[in-house]
Each structure stands twice: as C-alpha cells, then as structure tokens.
Structure 1
Amino acid sequence: MSAATNPAPKPTPNRAGRPPSDLQLAADASARFLPWALAVMVFLAALALAGALALDGTVSSWRQGVSSRLTVQLADRPGGPAMAQRLEAALAALRATPGVRRAEALGRADVESLLRPWLGDAAAGAGLPLPGVIDVELDPTASLSVAALAAQLERAAPGARLDDPKPWLDQLVRLARLLQGLGLSIVLLVGLAMAAMVIFATRAGLAARRGTIELLHLIGAEDAYVARQFQRHVSRLAFLGGSGGWLGAAIILLLIQLLASNVGSGLLPGFSLAWWHWLLLLLLPLSAQVLAVITARLTVLGELKRML
C-alpha cells in the first residue's frame, strides 16, 4: 500500500486533553534532564539581564545627579581668615560666574552626614574642624571652563579646591557599559547553550525512534507530522524549565533589591528594577520556549531528510 493513497494517522486525543503522540515522547528518559537544564539556563540569563538593566538605571541616575554639579571645598586654616568669611567670598565669586545656576554652602550637619560613612558617628561630637563645602549646580546649556573657575576661586578664597566629578564619572560609565555588554553576552551565550541542549535531546529522541518514524512514513505520515510531536513535547518541557528558572531568579532578585534598599551608607550604588525591567525579564521564559520549539522543529526536519 503506497504512502500516496494513505492519509497521515489521526489518533484521538488522550484523557488529559493533550494531543496524542505516536512516538510516546513523554516516556523518553533521555529528555528528563532537559527541564532542569533549561531552568538553570533561564535562571542565569535572568540574573545577567537584570544586572545589565539595573546598571542602565544606575548610569542614568549618575548622569542626572552628578554631570551638572561641582563641589568646592575649603580646608580650615588656623590663624587665617574665618571660615565664614572665606565661604562668603567663594560664594560671591561663584554666583557672579556665568553658567553657574546655583551655589549654596552646606551646613555643619550636612558636612557631618557626608563624612559619617568614613569617620563614623563618634566623629560628629568630637569637635573636629570641618571643611567648608559648597554645592554648585551648573547650567547644562552654558559652556564653562572648570580650570578658569578654579583659578577664579583661588583668587577669591585662597585654598579653595574645586572638585569636578566628570572625569571619574566617565570612567564609571565606561566600566558600567562594559559590564552591561558582558551581561548581554552572557544572555546570548546562554541562548546558544540552550539551543545546543535541545538539539542534543531531539537527536537522541529521533535516534531512539527511528523504526517507529519509518513505519509512520510508510503509512503516510509526513515530516511535519513528526516534527509537530517533537515541538509539543519540547514546548512543554521548556515551559516547565523556563518557568521554574524564572521564578527562582525572581526570588533572588527581590531579595537582592530588598537588601540593597537597606544599605543606607551611600557607598554602593543601589540595585533597583523598574516595572518595565520586570516585563523584559518576563520575556525570558517565553523566549526560551519559542527558541526550544523552533530549534526542535528545524532539528527534526533536518535529521529526517538525512535519515529517510
């Protein structure tokens, strides 16, 4: 009886309501490792992607909060002019400079809070001489020479030191971008490893059922019919593994975010994820499932062409 005169088999659905499988893929012991492996892959990819997204928010906050600010420090000089007099002279010079939007001297309590992470709480009541600090906000649209402003401050208030955060901010941004690229590269490598595992499991399933597949072809089954059975099987395994891996990563990320919010020293950048970051992370298990299904289909169709 020829394959041309016999339609593909159409078995009835099973009791669970799932489409049947002539290949009995659910009983394949060689694929039982696949959900666990996919769970680990999605877990690692979620952590790497979350790190890259959190760094992006941190870099943006650095740029907004630091790029248009300068700090002026005046060390205490015993025997010289009073600190209040020097602060007033420096403030007058700053406020008279075009491009300076705001200049305000910090009070003693604010200076103590800035030094507390390094000196501790005991230093606040020790009566130590504290430097004078001026917070300067620049106009982002104006062009201002930091070197010329520093020379002007030195003439107005000798010993004034102007700190420009832009050089070290640029270095931090470059480092953050490098780490972001590393995180995205990890996500890409995890995707490639995931596809390789699906290919290995699919080829093993095909090799173990070569005789059954040949029989199905003899009674009229097409390659697409066989591929659909592998697709459904791999899709279910990828959903289980991806969901488990994403759930584990979400728990770890929430714990990290909670611990980072309790660190109030200001020495470390905060770790926080926006709502749209979580939406992107939700795409990981879905993307893993789609990748697994497409990989399984292409693998089955390619192997069947060589096998039969």
Structure 2
Amino acid sequence: MRIGLLGTGPWAQMAYAPALSRHGELEFAGVWGRRAAAAKELADSHGVRAYDDVDTLLGDVDAVAVALPPAVQADLAVRAARAGCHLLLDKPLALTVEEGRAVVEAVEEAGVASVVFFTARFQPDVEAWIAEQAAVEGWFTGRAEWLGAVFSGDGSPFADSPWRREKGALWDVGPHALSVLLPVLGDARRVTAAAPGPGDTVHLVLEHIGGSSSTLALSLTAPPAAAGAAVELRGAAGVTRLPESTESAVSALIRAGDALRAASRTGHAHACDAAFGLRVTEILAAAEGMLNGGA
C-alpha cells in the first residue's frame, strides 16, 4: 500500500513520518503540507517526495495519513476519500458534527477503509484490557482522568497550537478518554457537562446505554507533577484500573497502519473507524454546547 502524509507540524514530525518510514508493509510515498518549505524538509529527512499539489499526491497513492488540525483534516479527508484513498486519520475526526458526518458519508460512498488514531486503542496491553473489561457484566461506574500539562509546562511543541488554544482539553484529550470508556460501558445516551475547572479543565458525566455512568476530568493545564491518565471501573466484579503503557506513539501508529491495511483488504470496518470518530465528535459537541450555555 502506497501511503502519503498530509501535514508537517510537530505531530507529523514526531509520530506520523517516523511510523510510515518504519512500517514494513507500507510504502511511504511522499509528503504534502500547507507550507511547501516544511513539506520539503520533512520529505527530504525521510527520503521521499515533497508534493506541491495535494491532488497530485492523492492520485499517486492508495492511502493517506493526516496529521493536520481537525477542521483542515475533515475537508481533506473528504477530498481524499473521493479520490479513492484509504484514510488514516487523527483524533478528533472533526470539530463539528456536520464536518464529521461529511467524512463518514464520503468514506461510505467511496468504499474506502478508515482508521482514526486514538493512541490507547493501538497499544496492545491497553486494548487487551479494554476487550477483557467489555466482556465483564455489571459495571456500575467508571472514572477517567486525562490531565495534560501542555499549557502549564515548559516547552511542549503543542502549546502554540491554535485549535488546542481555542478548543482545549475537551477536544484534545477528551477523545482519548471516550475511546477507552465507550467500548467497555457502551454508547452514551446522555452527556452532562459540569462547571469548568481551572484553565481549560472540564468535567463531564455520561449515562451509558447499559445503565452505568462515568465521569471524565479533562485538562491541558494541570501542574506538570499532576499530569497523567487514569481510568478506573467499579462494578459487581470489583475494581479494575487501566494499565499503564510504555508503548510509544510511533509503535501505536505502526499498528494503526496494520489496521488500515487489514480493513482495506477484508472490507471489515475497524472499531476505530470514521463512524466511531463521528460518534465521539457528537458527544464532544453536545458537551461543548452545554459548557457554552446551551441546553
């Protein structure tokens, strides 16, 4: 599978380009970016072609990986799907339900495969824990804390990201927490957003279709010493906590590439496809509406 990379920012440099270069079953074919000089620099560092025109890249590859802000990603994902490219996308899929739905419709109409990179879902120990807990009945409640120090620490390459500054933790780390809770406790039939905390911190309460509830604490402005992610489930089987993973984002992305290849070969949708990404977007949009004073 020939795959191109759309994007040249820190995440493309740190994770996507290295993963595509190291993947044994993907042929990294080239890079396109909104800044031509950055695209050339990144492409040269991995020995691939820099593309000035995105449509030319789409015509040369079987798939694209997208490491761009979500609003930019959504538009280009539609364009790529219509060009017949399979999609390796980042979270969140989009920043509005309408944009996310457009991606899903384009994927379905084109018959291409899609995978959204929720990092934890491609870490073997975490995914095994999720599968094990999903098979257990009687969960009463869950708790997820996804606390980052992007805006409170020193030197984060993502601190100046305009969309993160605007949308905050709800949209940046909220997808990670939901990607772990939803496959275990079931879809959310109701979401409540409580009063915001310090900085961009938000607190959500979900009512799940199976009858359990969960709480989420999300932040990108936590003190560095308090940063980290934790998930705890309590129910008839007792108490269990999400295992810590030492897997790098590059290793997880390589597995996401495997998942895209498998979905394209078999025609079977991956659990983290664009449709799942849309559902996460719907939940986040509902929470954001409440935080902004909506019903």
TM-score tier after normalising by the smaller chain length: under 0.3
The higher relative CO (CA closer than 8 Å, separation ≥ 6) is in 1
Q: Look at both structures and tell me which one has the larger radius of gyration over its CA atoms.
A: 1
Higher strand proportion (structure 1 or 2): 2
Which of the two has greater helix per residue? Answer: 1
TM-score, length-scaled by structure 2: 0.20
